[in-house]
Amino acid sequence: MELRCAVQKYAWGKAGKSSLVAQLSQGNSTAPIVEDDPYAELWMGTHPSGPSVIKSSNEPLLNHLLSNVDSLGDEEKKVFGTDLPFLFKALSVAKALSIQAHPNKKHAEELFATRPDLYKDPNHKPEMVTAWLGPFEALCGFRPVADIKFFLQEIDELAAVVGKSACEALVKAESDSGEMQALRECFSALMNTSEESIASALKQFEQRIPSLSAEKKDALQCDLFTRIATDFPGDVGCWSVYFMNYVVLQEGESMFLGPNVPHAYIFGDCLECMACSDNVVRAGLTPKFKDIDTLCSMLDYQAGPVDRFRMQWSTVDEFCQTCSPPVPDFAMARLRLPASATVDKPYGLPIRSNASILLILQGQATSVETKEDLSFGQVLFLKAGQQLTVQVKGQQDLIVYQAFANV
């Protein structure tokens, strides 16, 4: 079944036709692209904040699942009930998203019970991000402590807003647990500093940057800092550059972000798959509500290189790969069929024991089963056990990403 999916026009999205999300939306919608509008996210799934509908009938996908429970796999229903456990997205990021983290399941239930106006569901939100169409930039997890110490020593303006006692505690910390506690104190002190002090320190550092040598600017990642500070003047989140790892994912590379991992996407296009939730705790780089106390209390303060978050894809056959994060809610597969490889022989996608959603990111094909044409931007729902066999058309490779429950 072909789906029509929701577009989210958040302020940080790329504008008009420059946005991958806007381009994809044309594959399953007749709405014209508005050039000045930000097209931030395409949601594929059943989440109530952006539910997909069946294109042929306009029936919400969730309603269809409730009345056709055989569409879901047996193990899927046993673990998650009669709804899809995952939410699949495409993102087009023009400027940094908020400094944020997602709660674990127990914490999500508590937040939903006490603050349903801010936290809209009781589910956790582990997520996997995969770069698409060139480099994707992000901040992710706390840097090695040695890096943070270096920045605190080199940037007086940052050390001033963190505070002398917190900085000294981090310098003197020796054990891993001591470093985590000292890092927590530093980051919490920063986030709780007055807006006036933060804005003043940022301005002072920005004014000092031009006087630094090229080598020093590079060491202090001044280009990255300046880009973010330009979009969010006076925002405490600008200082997060010096606490969190800066990572650039190349096309096809992936990261997994578990509960309580601080992160912020900066620029580029990506695909995300996550547990079916929209719970986000924010504390910077956003006009939305900043729940600083909740974020600082919940974060994972384990410091280290960003490679610990990278995910590896496994080869299924010469055309298909899969990636399975350490959660049952979702896994992903991707298919790249060269046009020349299937001229004489159609390709059958591996049959999944659970329901799945497919996004066509490039190329054209014909479904052998239905004889229908498939093309860029189309989103398909396959019920558990359903076969899809494709014959590539045209000169482009066919590229498809697929999301499904990891049980």
* 278 contacts 89 by C-beta, under 8 angstroms: no
Structure tokens at 131: 């770069």
Residue 270's nearest CA partner among 3, 13, 49 is: 13
Question: Does 4 participate in catalysis according to the annotation?
Answer: no
| DSSP string for residues in 217-232 | HHHTTHHHHHHHHHHS
Token representation of residue 375 = 């093309």
* Residue 107 is assigned to a ligand binding site: no
Amino acid at 290: K
Residues pairing with 48 in the sheet: none
In the set 143, 227, 282, 334, the catalytic residue is 282
Q: How far apart (Å, rounded) are the C-alpha atoms in residues 59 and 4?
A: 10
Token couple for 95: 């400027």
Please indicate if the annotation marks 127 as binding a ligand.
yes
Residue 105: count of CB within 10 angstroms of its CB: 15
Give the 3-state secondary structure of residue 348.
Answer: strand
State residue 390 phi and psi, 5-degree precision: -125, 150
Q: Which residues are catalytic?
A: 282
Show binding-site residues: 100, 102, 127, 263
Show binding-site residues for Zn(2+): 100, 102, 127, 263
